[in-house]
Structure 1
Amino acid sequence: MTSLLEKYVSRVEFESYEDFKANFKINIPDNFNFAYDVVDVYAEEQPDKKALIWCDDNGEEKIFTFRDLQYYSNKTANMLKSLGVRKGDNVMLMLKSRYEFWFCILALHRIGATAVPATHMLTKKDVVYRVERAIINTVICAPDEGVLDYVDEAYAEVSSILKNRLVIGLEREGWLGFTDEMEKASEDFERPTGEEATFNDDVLLNYFSSGTTGFPKMVQHSFTYPLAHIITAKYWQNVTDEGLHYTVADSGWAKCVWGKIYGQWIAGSAVFVYDYEKFSADKMLENAIKYGVTTFCAPPTIYRFLIREDLSNYDFSCLKYCVTAGEPLNPEVYEQFYKITGMKLMEGFGQTETVVSVATYPWLEPKPGSMGKPSPEYDIMLLNGEGKPCEAGEEGEICIDTSFGNPPGIFTGYRSDETLTSRVWHDGYYHTGDMAWKDEDGYYWFVGRADDIIKTSGYRVGPFEVESALIEHPAVLECAITGVPDPVRGQVIKATIVLTKDYTAGDELKKELQDHVKKVTAPYKYPRVVEFVPELPKTISGKIRRVEIRDHDKEGQ
């Protein structure tokens, strides 16, 4: 039987990265809808094929086949329609890692409504901002009293927009019980036709991207977006048919759809979801091994926790492949993980606005700290300050050439903000705002956000290299590198550091850390200013807000 994957790609197997880059193409049919054209196809042809394995810290587990997901998403779609949700409406999903997220997102795809995934860490102000900006008429929440309180507080201000509030597993005044309402609904849902049908250019997802500067942007993706995650899942994460993939991310982040639904299912792999309340490296390992995870994706921070465990106590025989993204990988973490497990961490780069666009693909030998090479269908260019292509070794902005058409998976623009869209997307290029350089072998190396580059005494210094050097020292738990205005050097390098519990701030430790950086990297990159702090300012998604540190320093001066 022909696999579903074969239907949507030019070829499945490739002999080399060069072959892959030159000959891989995604076949995009008219009016593609992931719920009908992937989930329902499996439900009809392989109804017992596993799609989702879910567990939590209370010992509860659920295993869903594609037939199960068709059944529950049909019922959810009928329930939402009965509440007035129609094609083009925006529905916010604040569901953490609840399995109902998959019922809801597929139901919204069926209706043609736009899913707006959101983290459970939003406050009243965040909820009001999102409801007003995206005109959200329905919100569906996990049973988290704190989240529900914030939504209720927001509702008092936006009740003219927000019509429906649904909660899972609780009875609450003013809220509908999701499960009760869903169970009442019919299990039959016909694919809409005519004006209610979905088209490729319709808006599938709307993500509020928590950038490190300014208010969150609304990143819109079309109904063809899931197909582009074939690149992410099959060829970067290296998922396999009948495998089990685990990406560490709850449903509020774009990383969830990178690793827990689209590309994995098209490639035939089930996805694993561990719904934990508090992160624990040993529990994560225990559950991943218990359920037989075969491929794994997590940010470097998670790997830093994992290598602190006694990994000799775990049986990794099922685990075949590991990748990382979300922040640059410190070579020290790569080496330690490889030494303990024998598996090479394969890095990747992308944004909420894209799918994986640079990666260390299976044919490539990883260079620790390098993102890898450009994805097929993505024409990546490094452009200097004059908009000219960079030479090998020269730092430039990562840009995607769209002059000959948009690659699959790139966003369609920022909702309701043509000014911001045109600021980053002009002259035939989408400007990512991220800086990198390319070596003689064609590997890309992340430097930092364009706004974070430090210019000191004629040198350009990216924060990551200095942060990576500092993080190798046992005293450093977290750090952020920024530039401080200086009348002589233009800027000097500053390190804002959170110490590990066994170390105490002081001049002696400051000198030790400065000397450490001088030994690990070029001496001119050492931080002349060092500040020890209890915590770093971060976005809701955990990204360091270096802009806040810079602004604070300017006020101090």
Structure 2
Amino acid sequence: MKIFKLPILKSLWTQKPLYRTFHGHSKLLASDVYSQYQAVRRGEQEIPKYFNFASDVLDKWTEIEKAGKRPSNSAFWWISGKGEEVKWSFEELGFLSRKVANVLTKVCGLQKGDRIIVVLPRIPEWWLVNVACMRAGIVLIPGTTQLSAKDMLYRLQASKAKCIITDDTVAPAVDSVASESQFLKTKLIVSQGSREGWLNFSELYKNQSADHSCAKTRIEDSVNIFFTSGTTGSPKMTEHSQGSLGFRPLLSERYWLDLTPSDVIWNTADTGWILNSLTSVFDAWVFGSCIFVHQLPQIESATILNTLCRFPIDTLVGVPTLYRMLVQNDLSSYKFMNLKHCMSGGEPLNPEVMEKWKSQTGLDIHEVYGQTETGIICSVFKGMKIKPGSMGKAAPLFDVQVVDKNANILPPGQQGEIAVRIKPIRPLGLFSEYIDNPKKTAESERGDFYVTGDRGTMDEDGYFWFIGRDDDIIISSGYRIGPFEVESALMEHPAVAEAAVVSSPDPLRGEVVKAFVVLSATFSSSDQEHLACELQEHVKKTTAPYKYPRKVEFVQQMPKTITGKIKRHELRNKEWGRM
């Protein structure tokens, strides 16, 4: 992995206005973890060879906390919504995560570099396992709790994970494919009861010693692997390092979150996605802020709004669907206790939603843009002029441009592909590679750039505007859904001869999955509405439920190329009225 050299780091950073904001902000930060990296940020010192987020950030906050130099603010604050509550200081987080690290290494026999899949809802154990894996140098692979048995098998086989941690909801799916997962050695369950063939996580970690020495990890060592949605094939494994996730925010300072140790941040994203890892682990804890978590078995407007009224949440992060839901309520009847900064990411947010939110709450919504591969690369920073519909300017450390098919930088206003400069030096923050897929890794590079696959423009002021995917990925409620998996699930049904899946506009979710289906010649159905429901249920059972087609249209034939490939773009254009 290529790391920033000093002149580039310095020249990129001094162009960013938030540098001045930081220095005049608060004396609370004068003695925090930033002090040891100021020389690196100024370009006067090389990025360190070794780095571990647990020891170099979290444990430093413990020292600051114990010295009485941090506000009396929890590091972690969880509520169940049913009266249960958990609060940890950085010291308590360190104590408990060391116990979990001993479970992983001494009980499960995992070693530095081994991989573990973690599929848990928004419960405290997810955060303990994250920190424990950092301490042990174990590579964590998060997954959404909506994964099916087929999804789980693919991830277990592709990742070669030796251990999995999940709960009672997902455990049956794991058991159904465990015999085919030759690399899986240990299964840990977070449960009040016992399950045959599983070790009980809660019982084990409570009885473990808290004496654990943090692994010495290089800044390029893998810390997380995220599975992306595939366009024409299976999901890819995207590798992120200690540097790209943990050290990057130390160089970027407060940029998109703009937090302090006094702040409380609430991110409603699923635990399986990188937005949760960025917002609710690395980027928030770098600043010594409190991460607030609501278990949220279901995303409901009343629950979100009441929580904002009852708890001192300063910063809210959510996908556009969240805000579309919230503005359908009479917000004048709610008084938020402390909210002052709202952010949206995962897909474009409608300008009319931003205006309605602003008119009823007095708060702006700041958009951010990024991918699993990049993290946040564009943002509307606090204090920046908001241009409704724009995802803001390039974030610190990234040179973001709009390029053509030959990697030439396009002038303002001209449509092209959003790209990040990676040559002569790859920026710290970008993923390392698609694991076991060098061809795909190479295809993601064009000239001096990593190309995102998203089309957009940049205006004269440096603001970026999202137009759409350059491939067939569907972005619905912040979930990125590859059509291939949905089409494959549909093709397993005996009634389906051909299937094509595209995005379709939706007022709440932005876009949803729509399936065009050609029925098998041997299958006839006079009740197509019933058959559509049957196909939807089939997909829910075959793959993750969030991927099912909310719209189904039966057609006689598909538009195809001369070589017989389905022209998804024609179907998509028809849905969006672009014909």
Q: Do Structure 1 and Structure 2 share a fold, with TM-score over 0.5? A: yes
Aligned to 2:265: 245
Count of residues in Structure 1 that have an aligned counterpart in Structure 2: 473
What secondary structure sits across from 2:254 in the alignment?
helix
The answer (yes or no) to whether the contact 2:401–2:419 under 8 Å persists in 1 is yes
2:430 to 389, 407, 410: 410
Aligned to 1:362: 382
1:436 to 450, 453, 456: 456
Task: Return closer, same or farther for 1:108/1:268 CA change in 2, 3 Å cut-off.
Answer: same
Aligned to 2:84: 60
Aligned to 1:397: 417
Aligned to 1:84: 109
1:417-432 to structure 2, matched below 5 A, reads 417-432=437-452
Aligned to 1:299: 319
The answer (yes or no) to whether the contact 2:407–2:448 under 8 Å persists in 1 is no
2:402 to 376, 382, 387: 382
The answer (yes or no) to whether the contact 1:222–1:412 under 8 Å persists in 2 is yes
What secondary structure sits across from 1:301 in the alignment?
helix
Aligned to 2:228: 209
**Deviations 1:497-527 (Å, cap 9, x if unpaired)?**
5689xxxxxxxxxxxxxxxxxxxxxxxxxxx
Whether 1:270 and 2:290 are equivalent positions in the alignment is: yes
The answer (yes or no) to whether the contact 2:255–2:395 under 8 Å persists in 1 is no
Taking the aligned partners of 1:395 and 1:306, their CA distance within structure 2 comes to: 33
Task: Return closer, same or farther for 1:544/1:228 CA change in 2, 3 Å cut-off.
Answer: farther
Taking the aligned partners of 1:362 and 1:401, their CA distance within structure 2 comes to: 25
1:188 to 211, 232, 237: 211
1:151 to 165, 170, 174: 174
Scaled by the length of structure 2, the TM-score of the pair is 0.75
Q: Percent identity?
A: 32
Q: Which amino acid counterpart does residue 203 of structure 1 have in structure 2?
A: S
The answer (yes or no) to whether the contact 2:239–2:434 under 8 Å persists in 1 is yes
How far 1:542 moved relative to its partner?
5.4
Q: Which amino acid counterpart does residue 122 of structure 2 have in structure 1?
A: S
Whether 1:44 and 2:63 are equivalent positions in the alignment is: yes
What secondary structure sits across from 2:202 in the alignment?
helix
How far 1:25 moved relative to its partner?
10
What secondary structure sits across from 2:409 in the alignment?
coil
How far 1:377 moved relative to its partner?
1.5
Task: Return closer, same or farther for 1:282/1:79 CA change in 2, 3 Å cut-off.
Answer: same
How far 1:189 moved relative to its partner?
0.3
Q: Which amino acid counterpart does residue 32 of structure 1 have in structure 2?
A: F
Whether 1:141 and 2:166 are equivalent positions in the alignment is: yes
How far 1:269 moved relative to its partner?
1.1
Task: Return closer, same or farther for 1:120/1:408 CA change in 2, 3 Å cut-off.
Answer: same
Task: Return closer, same or farther for 1:414/1:166 CA change in 2, 3 Å cut-off.
Answer: same
Task: Return closer, same or farther for 1:232/1:6 CA change in 2, 3 Å cut-off.
Answer: same
Aligned to 1:219: 238
Whether 1:177 and 2:200 are equivalent positions in the alignment is: yes
What secondary structure sits across from 2:31 in the alignment?
coil
The answer (yes or no) to whether the contact 1:8–1:27 under 8 Å persists in 2 is no
The answer (yes or no) to whether the contact 1:395–1:435 under 8 Å persists in 2 is yes
Taking the aligned partners of 2:252 and 2:279, their CA distance within structure 1 comes to: 8
Taking the aligned partners of 1:261 and 1:495, their CA distance within structure 2 comes to: 31
How far 1:211 moved relative to its partner?
4.0
How far 1:231 moved relative to its partner?
7.5
What secondary structure sits across from 1:387 in the alignment?
coil
Aligned to 1:15: none
Taking the aligned partners of 1:446 and 1:54, their CA distance within structure 2 comes to: 34
What secondary structure sits across from 1:234 in the alignment?
coil
Task: Return closer, same or farther for 1:11/1:238 CA change in 2, 3 Å cut-off.
Answer: farther
How far 1:544 moved relative to its partner?
9.6
Taking the aligned partners of 1:337 and 1:25, their CA distance within structure 2 comes to: 44
Q: What are structure 2's unaligned runs of at least 5 residues?
A: 1-29, 67-71, 477-482, 484-501, 509-531, 561-565, 568-579
What secondary structure sits across from 2:471 in the alignment?
helix
Taking the aligned partners of 1:326 and 1:363, their CA distance within structure 2 comes to: 22
Taking the aligned partners of 2:197 and 2:79, their CA distance within structure 1 comes to: 29
The answer (yes or no) to whether the contact 1:51–1:66 under 8 Å persists in 2 is yes
Taking the aligned partners of 1:266 and 1:3, their CA distance within structure 2 comes to: 10
**Deviations 1:519-546 (Å, cap 9, x if unpaired)?**
xxxxxxxxxxxxxx98899995958999
**Deviations 1:19-45 (Å, cap 9, x if unpaired)?**
xxxx79997433110111111112233
The answer (yes or no) to whether the contact 1:91–1:136 under 8 Å persists in 2 is yes
Q: Which amino acid counterpart does residue 148 of structure 2 have in structure 1?
A: T
1:372 to 373, 376, 392: 392
Aligned to 1:94: 119
Taking the aligned partners of 1:360 and 1:382, their CA distance within structure 2 comes to: 18
Whether 1:329 and 2:349 are equivalent positions in the alignment is: yes
The answer (yes or no) to whether the contact 2:40–2:46 under 8 Å persists in 1 is no
How far 1:214 moved relative to its partner?
2.5
Taking the aligned partners of 1:544 and 1:382, their CA distance within structure 2 comes to: 33
Taking the aligned partners of 1:32 and 1:446, their CA distance within structure 2 comes to: 35
2:278 to 241, 258, 264: 258
Taking the aligned partners of 1:11 and 1:136, their CA distance within structure 2 comes to: 35
Q: What are structure 1's unaligned runs of at least 5 residues?
A: 13-22, 454-462, 468-479, 481-493, 501-532
Task: Return closer, same or farther for 1:544/1:150 CA change in 2, 3 Å cut-off.
Answer: closer
Aligned to 2:36: 7
How far 1:440 moved relative to its partner?
2.1
Scaled by the length of structure 1, the TM-score of the pair is 0.78
Q: Quote the RMSD (CA, aligned, Å).
A: 3.3
Task: Return closer, same or farther for 1:386/1:425 CA change in 2, 3 Å cut-off.
Answer: closer
Q: Which amino acid counterpart does residue 349 of structure 2 have in structure 1?
A: L
Pick which of 533-542 and 99-108 moved more: 533-542
Task: Return closer, same or farther for 1:543/1:232 CA change in 2, 3 Å cut-off.
Answer: farther
How far 1:229 moved relative to its partner?
3.6
Task: Return closer, same or farther for 1:391/1:370 CA change in 2, 3 Å cut-off.
Answer: same
The answer (yes or no) to whether the contact 1:237–1:297 under 8 Å persists in 2 is no
Taking the aligned partners of 2:507 and 2:380, their CA distance within structure 1 comes to: 32
Task: Return closer, same or farther for 1:84/1:214 CA change in 2, 3 Å cut-off.
Answer: same
Taking the aligned partners of 1:116 and 1:496, their CA distance within structure 2 comes to: 31
**Deviations 1:326-384 (Å, cap 9, x if unpaired)?**
00011111111111111111111111111211111123211111011111211112111
Taking the aligned partners of 1:232 and 1:129, their CA distance within structure 2 comes to: 35
Pick which of 367-376 and 534-543 moved more: 534-543
1:118 to 140, 143, 150: 143
The answer (yes or no) to whether the contact 1:207–1:218 under 8 Å persists in 2 is yes
**Deviations 1:236-274 (Å, cap 9, x if unpaired)?**
122222110011112111111121011111112111111
**Deviations 1:272-317 (Å, cap 9, x if unpaired)?**
1110211111111212332210011111110001111221122224
